[in-house]
Structure 1
């Protein structure tokens, strides 16, 4: 059985790229904290992936289809997560609900920027 080196390289790189993105996805799902993402970047990534699909899906089926399908689904998922869970920065005097779903009961909230900000406001 002859294995084409290009297909092997494409398969290996697809596994590596998917493995590199999985921790980011797991953290986003677990914490619902998407403060480090920007809406503009997520929108551009999704538009770029959709336009790039015209090219990728014109190619014969192979590892590039799997990688591109993964990129399409993960950027779409991250955009949906951002829209659903991203909250704007807390404005001065605005009450914060400590029961929000990005913290689990019993979590140590020290070091969490918005909880630290809230504690400073309450102490004043």
Structure 2
């Protein structure tokens, strides 16, 4: 039995499983306000660079795990951009609170 391969396979399943609740919640609620866009962007850049190293290694569990991380972080970035809420309106930006033109108020 190859203990390192078994350990790598088990840890891959565990790591991937730990991210599934985050993905399911993001899909279900479309509420990604608690995620940092800069962090998710940096994670995607790091995954792209790290791919040069990982995919130079012999095929194995680390390929599966890294591929899962690449897909997961890319999805989170797309969803974060797609479902990001516009900044909240302030009283000054609401249409009904804009100053009325002088002519509309009976002044010339």
Q: TM-score range by the shorter chain?
A: 0.7 to 0.9
2:80 counterpart SS class: helix
1:22 is aligned, of 6, 20, 23, to 20
1:87 is aligned, of 80, 85, 88, to 85
Alignment of 1:11-90 (within 5 A): 11-90=9-88
If the length of structure 2 is used for normalisation, what is the TM-score?
0.82
Gaps of 5+ in 2: 95-108
Gaps of 5+ in 1: 96-124
Structure 1 segments (4+ residues) deviating >4 Å: none
CA-atom RMSD, angstroms? Answer: 1.3
2:57 counterpart SS class: coil
Shift of 1:87: 1.1
Q: Which has the higher contact order (CA 8 A, sep 6+)?
A: 2
CA distance in 1, matches of 2:12, 2:87: 36
> Which structure has the larger Rg?
2
More helix by share: 2
CA distance in 1, matches of 2:21, 2:87: 25
What is the aligned residue count?
A: 93
